[in-house]
Structures are given as C-alpha cells and as structure tokens.
Amino acid sequence: MMNQAGRAIAAVSAINEEQPLLAVSGLGKRYGPGCPACLDLQGQRCPQCGSLWACYDISFDLYPGEILGLVGESGSGKSTLLRCLYFEEEATTGIMTIPSYQGGPANLLAASAQQQRYIRNHMMGMVFQNPWLGLRMHVSGGGNIAEKLLAAGVYHVGRIRTRAAELWRQVEMPLPRLDEYPQNFSGGMQQRVQIAKALANKPPLLLLDEVTTGLDLSVQARVLDLVRQIQRELGVAMLLVSHDLAVIRMLADRTMVMHQGRLVEQGLTDQVLEDPEHPYTQLLVRSLL
Amino acid sequence: MNGSETKPVWLDTYNFAFLDEGSKREIRRKTLKAVAIPGYQVPFASREMPIARGWGTGGLQLTLALIGRGDRLKVIDQGSDDSVNAVSIRRLVENTTGIETTVDTAAATLIQTRHRIPEQPLRAGQILVLQVPLPEPLRLIEPREEVTRRQHAEMDYSAMWLALYEDIVRWGDITVGHSYPCLAHGRYLFSPSPIPRWDIPKLHQAACLYLFGAGREKRIYAIPPYTDVQPLSFDDYPFAVERLAGACCRLCGSTSTFLYEIDDAASGQKLYQCSDTAYCQQRRQERGQA
Ligand SMILES: Nc1ncnc2c1ncn2[C@@H]1O[C@H](COP(=O)(O)OP(=O)(O)OP(=O)(O)O)[C@@H](O)[C@H]1O
Ligand SMILES: [Mg+2]
Ligand SMILES: [Zn+2]
C-alpha cells in the first residue's frame, strides 16, 4: 500500500565516520513564560519570571558508533534533553543537525512535524526512563515493535512478524511471549522490549534514558551486556543517560556531566572520572568512591 | 405519496425544506469545502431538528440544504424504504417541500441512507447522503480530539494500522465489519459510516457524489465523483467483502447482493434476503414474479 511516512520527505546519505552523526548547539527548554532576565540565568529558575529552564545552552557532538554518557543529579535536565532530541518535547532554543539527513531545514528543531516524525522513525530509537511512556501496555509486545515498522511504511504482516521475532531474539526475550501485553512483563523484560522497539528500523542513533534504573543488580548487568553487545554488533551510536557512574564507566567512551540544566564538563570518560575539572563533577566522583 | 392531508399545521410556518435560508447556505458552503478536500471532516453548526439526534439529523440537514423543487428523493434505512425511520424522514421532507419521493434508485436525484449504499450503481449527477453516527475513524483508538486532529494533519495513521495489526494477531484476520477505515484519495482517513464491507468498493472511483453528515458530532465530509477510496489493508491480508457461501435471496434468488440472515422459526433453517428491498423488488418484477 501507499507509504505515508516516507513520501519524498528525505534522503539519508551514507554516514561519514568523520563528521558527527548528531550535532547540538545552544539547546534549551523552558517551562514558563520567559522574560529578558532569562538570558543571564544562574540556576534553573529565573528569579524574574519564575520560569524553569530544565536544560540550558546545551552543545555537543555525537559521532557514529560511539557511546556518549550523560550523568547528572536528579532534576538536572537529562530526560528533558533527550525528549527534545526525540521531538517529544519542543525545544525552546537551539539548533540540532543530523548531517546525513538531507531534506529538511538545517535546524531540525525547526523542521515540520512530518520531517521530525520521519527522523524519529528512521534515524532514532529511544528507551524511556518510564516504560509506560515508551510502550503501549495494552498492545502486544510484537505490536509495539510493529508500530515503529508501520510508521516507517511496512504494510506486510508477515514481514513485520519476522522482523519482530528477530528483534525479540536479539534482546533475548522468550519467543512464545511475543503476543503478550508488556504490562505482564518484569521491569527488565520491559526494558528489553523497549530496546527491541527502538532498534526496529535499524536507526544509527539510540537515546537511552536510565535503561537499568530500578532493576535488580543481576538484571541490570544483563541489560548492560545487551546494550554493549548491540553497540558492538550493530555499530549504533548511543546517548546513554544515567545517574549511576558505574554504568557510565562501564559503557561510555566519552562522558558529559550535567548540573542544574547545564553541561559543566565533557571529555573522555576516564579523564572525566579520574581527573574532574568542575567542582560539581569532583563532588560527584568523590561521593562514589 | 400525498402528504397534504396528514400535514401538521405548524409546518406551514416553516421555510421551504424546513431550514431557513441562512442555515442552508452555511451547510452548502461547508459541503463545498468538504467536496474540495475529500475525506476531510468539516465542522458545521448542526441545527436542532424535529427528529431525535442519532436518527440521522446530520444526513437530514444535508438533504434539506441541497434539495430543490426539481429533485426526486429516496430515503432508505438499512436498505429498506419502508422502515419507520425512512418513512418519517421521507414524510418530513415531503411535508416541508412538496416534492415527490420515490423508491426507484435510478429515478432518484437525491438519496438519503443509513447503513447501506444501493446495489444499483449510481450515475453522474446523483447524490447519496449518508447518515453518520461517529465521523472520526480514529476515535475508538484515540479519545482526544486535539490528538486525532494532529494525526490527520500530519497523516499519521500508524495507530490505526497498529489496531488492524493487533486484530490480525489476535483473531487471524481484520474483524472490522462495518465502518471499515478507508483512505480518501491517498490522503485523509475517513469512516464510510456503518455500511458493510460489501458497499466499500462502491465508493471507489464512483460517478456519483457521496456526502456524509454527522448531526450530533457536527461534521460534514465528502467523497466526490471519481475519487480513489482505499480500505486500509496489509499486502498479505487483502481487503475482502462479506460472502455467505451458497446463500441466495429467498425472494429474488440473488447471489450477488448484500444479504441478511433470517431465522425461519417454522423450519429452524437459516434463510437469506436482499437487504436492498427496492433492488430485490425490481429483480422480482423483471422476472415476472411480482
Ligand atoms: N512538563 C514539565 N513542566 C514543568 N517542569 C518540568 C516538566 N518536565 C520536567 N520539568 C522539570 O525540569 C527539570 C528537569 O527534569 P528532568 O526530568 O529532565 O531531570 P532528570 O535529569 O532526567 O532527572 P532524573 O534523574 O530524576 O530522571 C526538573 O526540575 C523537572 O521538575
Ligand atoms: Mg530523567
Ligand atoms: Zn524569565
């Protein structure tokens, strides 16, 4: 049948290893009315208008195939940043580009809803901190994966089921449970289904928000293994959010530190964790040791 | 039918075709917009009508806004010209316009219907007005109006596709019987109203104009002549109309019409009959049975 999503919206060129897969600059998200005083904000809350800047002036590049860690305390704006990158939330300021995507305006934050949907369905996958946001709990596990494939214009039940079963195996879910509702699954299984869904259209970029938080230690370790394995086998780039430094240390090539809505430090993970520059990072690292 | 003897006195005080000219103009304007954007639901100011909402006030308002002295009207309900609902709507139009009505599909210029499209193919110049209880095809999946509006604007119908996929996984096939979701000219998803699947192919590239009126929900939409109408279907689960293997109409013998089932209490057998009574009658006349 007709392909709705893909219709002459975009061409995705081959990914160049040298240039960033994703480039972000000056991204900010404000909750509240905003005012001129917001421009030289100190914390997250504007004293003049009372607006809350969940994240502010965020700039970074993410390269093909790398795992970029993002740490920071609760409320520092990590999830908000991810939701803005996934177009779940409208960023207030900033520029976002994906150089291999040609078709929309240079700044994808200003692209049409249809173009954003195309990018989200073809170039990104996301694992939400809260599985209730990432999964439809009253749609079968396979159906959750199908949703992504349907959004990308695959209208063939047999092909959808073959791909869903393949992903199911990849995330080590028991095949007989493919048609079950995710609300019956354990937390670790729900995260696996979220990962399978995120991988459905073989995107070059995954956004992972606290993928192991709230899981038992042994389950955590297995999900982390899975993430590492996916990165190794599929070469997918990941932006990995966690407030757990151990997770970051284990997986991230480079790490960014977020504090009160801002990026206060970024660099190679070892460097950031062994020899932190910013006082907040020093505090963070010391409290872990 | 001559309604002058039964005509209530209050009707004399009303305009031709009951509605005032301002209301008619508004409905016609909205209808033109609907014709210009096939399948798109155009809001309109639905009027109070002297029949209960849910009994076809949306269709009736379209009929009354469009009807002229030269028109011939046919009214059917579930295929029948004789049901109480069809008769009362026909009476109302007769009483307020004085125009003639007919049961003959070919003779009618304007046909108001609920749940069926006549078996006889409609020709250019004819208008079929369908009564619609639920105009929004996405409503059962998504209760929020602002969300369905966005989904239409962005042509984001993956939630509907997903519902059909789940149907297949659960039941082995798409179980939607009536109101089967269709795409109008490759753009807007629309509800064809509760017609059976049998009638869906009649919407595609038709010579006539189809208008849909929802009174309670205050929406008008249209499938203009020669518009593509495609029921959503998967490549490996093609859309198919209902077929009752081996069944034929007990009255006219037809095997190529939409039949409904009757339990014959006497014999305990299942019998079938054309749902389109005028078509069935005509077939019997042609065969010299009536
Ligand atoms: N819709 C909203 N309206 C108002 N404020 C919001 C909204 N969403 C988030 N915030 C605020 O933005 C700030 C950043 O929240 P966010 O969820 O991004 O933090 P986080 O770093 O992901 O925290 P956690 O580690 O607890 O998940 C918080 O103060 C939060 O209360
Ligand atoms: Mg968070
Ligand atoms: Zn302010």
| Contacts (Cβ under 8 Å, ≥6 apart) of B123 | B106, B207, B208
Residue nearest to atom 4 of ligand 1 (CA): A31
**Residue B19: which of B43, B41, B50, B44 has the closest Cα?**
B50
* Nearest CB partner across the interface for A155, out of B156, B186, B235: B235
Residue numbers in B near A147 (CB within 8 A): 158-159, 162
pLDDT at A34: 92
What residue type is B59 in one-letter code? G
A137 in contact with chain B, both atoms CB, cutoff 8 A: no
- Domains detected in chain B: 9-141+177-231 (3.40.50.11310), 243-290 (no CATH)
Contact between B273 and B251 under an 8 Å Cβ cutoff? The reply is yes
Residue with tokens 């905003």, as numbered in its chain: A34
Is B56 tagged catalytic? Answer: no
A135 in contact with chain B, both atoms CB, cutoff 8 A: no
pLDDT at B46: 86
A8 in contact with chain B, both atoms CB, cutoff 8 A: no
Contact between B133 and B115 under an 8 Å Cβ cutoff? The reply is no
Indicate yes or no: CB of B234 within 8 angstroms of CB of A179.
Answer: no
pLDDT at B56: 86
| Structure tokens belonging to residue B142 | 């998504």
Contact between B174 and B164 under an 8 Å Cβ cutoff? The reply is yes
Indicate yes or no: CB of B236 within 8 angstroms of CB of A140.
Answer: no
Within 48-107 of A, beta carbons closer than 8 Å to B belong to none
pLDDT at A213: 85
The pLDDT averaged over each successive group of 10 residues in chain A (289 residues) is 43 75 96 91 91 96 97 94 97 95 85 92 95 95 96 95 96 95 95 96 96 87 92 94 92 96 96 93 81
A75 alpha carbon – ligand 3 mean position (Å): 19
Residues (pLDDT < 70) of chain B are 1-12, 53-54, 289-290
Residue nearest to atom 5 of ligand 1 (CA): A31
Is B182 tagged catalytic? Answer: no
Is B248 tagged catalytic? Answer: yes
Is B249 tagged catalytic? Answer: no
pLDDT at A7: 41
**Residue B97: which of B16, B15, B7, B5 has the closest Cα?**
B16
DSSP one-letter string for B196-209? BGGGGGGGTT-SSE
Contact between A176 and A141 under an 8 Å Cβ cutoff? The reply is no
In Å, how far is A77's CA from the nearest CA of chain B?
26
What ipTM was estimated for this complex?
0.85
Q: How far apart are CA A44 and CA A50, in angstroms?
A: 10
Helix (H) / strand (E) element for B286: namely helix B277-286
Indicate yes or no: CB of B230 within 8 angstroms of CB of A1.
Answer: yes
pLDDT at A274: 93
Closest ligand 1 atom to Cα of A210: 27
Best A87, A112, A147, A162 member to test B by mutation, with max B CBs in 10 Å, is: A147
Integer CA distances (angstroms), B281 to A282, B251, B258, B261, in order: 90, 9, 14, 18
Q: Who lines ligand 1 at CB under 6 A? A: A 31, 52, 54, 72, 74-80, 129, 243
pLDDT at B288: 79
Is B274 tagged catalytic? Answer: yes
| Contacts (Cβ under 8 Å, ≥6 apart) of A204 | A15, A21, A64, A100, A123, A236, A237
